[in-house]
Amino acid sequence: MKTATNKKTISKILIANRGEIACRIIHTAKKMGIKTVAVYSTVDNNAKHVQLADEAIWIGEAAPKESYLRADKIIQAAKDSGAQAIHPGYGFLSENADFSKLCNDNQLIFIGPPASAIEAMGLKAEAKIRMEAANVPLVPGYHGEDQSVERLKQACIDIGFPVLLKASAGGGGKGMRVVESLEGIEDAIAGAQREGLNSFGDSHLLAEKYLARPRHIEIQLFCDQQGNGVYLFERDCSIQRRHQKIVEEAPAPNFPEKVRKAMGEAALQAAHAIGYVGAGTVEFLYENDEFYFMEMNTRLQVEHPISEYITGQDLVAWQIKVAAGEPLPISQDELKINGHAIEVRLYAEDANNDFLPTAGKINQFIYPKESSHFSLDYDHGIRMDTGVSSGDNVSPFYDPMVAKLIVWGEDRDIAIRKLKNALHQTHITGLISNVRYLEKLVSLESFSQAQLDTHFVEDNAEAIKTSGTLTEHQQRLHQIFAAWYLYQQRLKSEDEQKENRKDKIQSNDVRSPWGMKTGWRLNSGHGDPIRLLAPEEISIQIRPLPSGSYSILFAEHNYILQAPNISISDSTSNQQMLTLTIKGSDVQANILDQSIKAQVLHSADNIQVHSHYGTSEFIQPPRLTMSDSEEENDHGLHAPMNGCLTEVRVQSGDEVKAGDILVIMEAMKMEHSIKAPHDGCIAEIFFNQGDLIDEGREILSFVDENEA
């Protein structure tokens, strides 16, 4: 291995990013005794990465193009702070060759590959040509300059359907469309071009054969300035939605050693062909013991922690050392695979609504107490990398990823068990997340048996939906927990009101019902019934009994709860988290003296109950409902999320058919097409292309064909 030359000093790093990856870099920099500078937009002024850094500099408004994509402001911030180097993280400017050059022109170390390497792999079409010359296997496809609709259509015909259209400058699933036939191909081309232009400033597309059942395998590699290179084995990233990964694991299960070696060497061959330096990932499609080059990400990947776990290496530390001119710390022969690691990405998104991103305040973010953060912990083997805490907001301006949960075990079975337990202990309230979806997914037999390919999510959609479904008896028990919690909250509120009354009735007789704080009422139950939506409305009446027990009446069942056996502990009152243990009996339900434990989380009108049975979510309906005049009608189409209106395809007075695309919105790097619910006519459009729209706002008024 070649040794260091022209080593540079890095004592302060500016991080040109935000959120989890910025916190991750800060963690390693502190361990290395390096000071850090954070940059932030207006909405990130109190973000965790700002709090963790040694200093922070404001660079603009919330929209990325006004802040995190402003290379000039970031360069100036680095100069003003005295930083010698800039770490771009991932996303934003991390794969921007012009930014890399700008750093170099301003005598700043760019902690990443040289601009020439970024350029070589930045445009997928040109990258395919380079890889073909380097004898790296490719998927058959079209990478030409002619981007006319007719030429792209002909390319798809020549390749043979199905075909994958992909933004040449893209990544992360943006600007991608699967085309099954000529029908709808023009919309697919236009959509992919538009996403490519909006996300990367380039509408250029390539087309390639869409493999039927491939696995998505990627190689983590590292090269230094002395020409040394190693690969840190592979990751399986086949479980995806919207062409974006949600579950990754290393090493890839059921992966032949000879293929591992061949793929690793092919990845290094690709890197050496472009003079690569630093951390990079070469992605392949793998099917029937054959693999094909897909693309190279010239940066650190979101899923790098699982490679860190199985190799015991801090890849961010490697990045900093390589950027300073040091050689790689170990050789290929010294790298060994240790155990198995799995990462799941926790997103603010609605898995029941086509994984539509959500935004808003995180009221509670609770995760396993034994979790480490950004570092390797082999004792517990649980790591939670995140840039948010309870009370923080998920902004519609940025990616909706909240955190990464990473587990490590001596083998895959142990890692899966740890992952299930860790997910069961992880709760996000205040907005919709994919935590429970992931918990169901990793509990599937098909996941345990590693039946992996890029269609896993679609193929297992129904199984994921029904996974962990509670029995009627288990649902009833969860309803009791939710009702009991709300009942206690009601009593607490009434007691507080009593304390505030000057004319409070005092009683020294502990046996007197007038002095009890149990909610006892003469000849009646306490107050109104507890109402829950689950999803149908249920009514639960809780009545204190003279014996000190409680009667819980609902669904034609009467549970008797023994007061001495009811315990409430509140170890995390600031998070409104209760652990209840209830002993009860119900002859009709054949529950005799059964003891059950659960956690109840309450956020606004949402109530979550978690037990070893699984999870239930309830809505507490308001006491007063909207009048008919206040109810939302169906004559308007509303924004399903906070976002930007990127395209308006209709005008006032247009007649449309059911399913026609009316407008297209983009939020959190995702496009969403809003379609006509039925035949009708456009009455009025309230926003223009480029406008930012809040969730729930009416975009246009729509008149039913029968009313037009």
Domain ranges of the chain: 12-111, 140-209, 216-338, 345-469, 472-497+519-619, 636-704
pLDDT-above-70 percentage for the chain: 86
Q: What sign for the dihedral angle of Cα 448, 454, 457, 462?
A: negative
> What pLDDT, on the 0 to 100 scale, is given for residue 527?
57
- The model's confidence at residue 622, banded by pLDDT at 50, 70 and 90, is low
Segment of 62-66, 411-415, 542-546 carrying the highest mean pLDDT: 411-415
Decide if domain 345-469 falls under CATH 3.30.470.20.
yes
Distance CA 165, CA 178 (A): 6
pLDDT-above-90 percentage for the chain: 56
DSSP H helices, 32-123, are 48-52, 71-81, 97-105, 115-122
Fold match, 216-338 / 345-469: yes
Distance CA 170, CA 177 (A): 12
Tell me: pLDDT of 576 over 70.
Answer: no
- The model's confidence at residue 635, banded by pLDDT at 50, 70 and 90, is low
Nearest to 301 by CA among 254, 257, 244: 244
pLDDT digits (tens, 9 = 90+) for 254-266: 999 999 999 999 9
CA of residue 390 relative to chain centroid, distance:
16
pLDDT digits (tens, 9 = 90+) for 17-72: 999 999 999 999 999 999 999 999 999 999 999 999 999 999 999 999 999 999 99
Which one is predicted more confidently, 4 or 402?
402
Which whole number is the average pLDDT over 415-435? 94
The residue whose two tokens read 């409430």 is 568
What's the Cα-to-Cα distance from 118 to each of 263, 304, 323, 504, rounded to whole Å? 21, 19, 15, 75
> What pLDDT, on the 0 to 100 scale, is given for residue 200?
78
Which whole number is the average pLDDT over 468-484? 84
Distance CA 417, CA 415 (A): 5
User: At 332, is the secondary structure helix, strand, or coil?
Assistant: helix
pLDDT digits (tens, 9 = 90+) for 377-393: 999 999 999 999 999 99
Half-sphere exposure of residue 245: CA atoms within 13 angstroms, side-chain side: 23
Which whole number is the average pLDDT over 412-431? 95
CB 402 within 8 A of CB 668: no
What's the Cα-to-Cα distance from 471 to each of 29, 122, 467, 479, rounded to whole Å? 50, 51, 12, 12
Distance CA 357, CA 431 (A): 10
> What pLDDT, on the 0 to 100 scale, is given for residue 592?
43
Phi-psi region of 425 (alpha: psi -120 to 50; beta: other; left: phi over 0): alpha
Segment of 350-359, 518-527, 594-603 carrying the highest mean pLDDT: 350-359
Q: Which residues are catalytic?
A: 299
Tell me: pLDDT of 571 over 60.
Answer: no
Of 101-115, 201-215, 265-279, least confident by mean pLDDT is 201-215
pTM: 0.79
Q: Angle at Cα 481 formed by Cα 615 and Cα 599, nearest 5°?
A: 55
What CATH code would you report for 636-704?
2.40.50.100
pLDDT digits (tens, 9 = 90+) for 329-344: 999 999 999 999 999 9
Which whole number is the average pLDDT over 426-454? 95
Of 76-90, 131-145, 564-578, least confident by mean pLDDT is 564-578
Give the DSSP per-residue string, 494-558. HHHHHHH-TTPPP---TT-GGG-SS--BTTB-SSSPEEEESSSEEEEEEEE-TTS-EEEEETTEE
Distance CA 211, CA 191 (A): 21
> What pLDDT, on the 0 to 100 scale, is given for residue 493?
77
AA identity, residue 636: G
Distance CA 452, CA 237 (A): 9
Tell me: pLDDT of 396 over 90.
Answer: no
DSSP state of 144: -
> What pLDDT, on the 0 to 100 scale, is given for residue 489?
83
Nearest to 200 by CA among 669, 552, 641, 689: 669
Superfamily name and number for 216-338? ATP-grasp fold, B domain (3.30.470.20)
- The model's confidence at residue 118, banded by pLDDT at 50, 70 and 90, is very high
Nearest to 118 by CA among 242, 299, 245, 341: 299
Neighbours of 538 (CB within 10 A): 18
H helix or E strand, kind and range, residue 435: helix 435-441
> What pLDDT, on the 0 to 100 scale, is given for residue 481?
82
- The model's confidence at residue 569, banded by pLDDT at 50, 70 and 90, is very low
> What pLDDT, on the 0 to 100 scale, is given for residue 572?
39
Nearest to 670 by CA among 401, 327, 368: 401
Architecture of domain 12-111: 3-Layer(aba) Sandwich (3.40)
Which stretches does DSSP call E strand in 378-486? 382-386, 393-394, 401-409, 427-429
Q: What sign for the dihedral angle of Cα 210, 212, 216, 219?
A: negative
Distance CA 344, CA 338 (A): 19
The residue whose two tokens read 């990367």 is 200
- The model's confidence at residue 597, banded by pLDDT at 50, 70 and 90, is confident
> What pLDDT, on the 0 to 100 scale, is given for residue 417?
98
> What pLDDT, on the 0 to 100 scale, is given for residue 579?
53
Average pLDDT, the chain: 86
Tell me: pLDDT of 193 over 70.
Answer: yes
> What pLDDT, on the 0 to 100 scale, is given for residue 419?
98
Distance CA 405, CA 345 (A): 6
Which whole number is the average pLDDT over 497-516? 54
> What pLDDT, on the 0 to 100 scale, is given for residue 573?
37
CB 178 within 8 A of CB 189: no
Tell me: pLDDT of 152 over 90.
Answer: yes
Token pair, residue 189, equals 């081309």
What CATH code would you report for 140-209?
3.30.1490.20
- The model's confidence at residue 568, banded by pLDDT at 50, 70 and 90, is very low
* Helical axes 124-133 vs 115-122, angle rounded to 10°: 100
AA identity, residue 322: V
Neighbours of 37 (CB within 10 A): 22
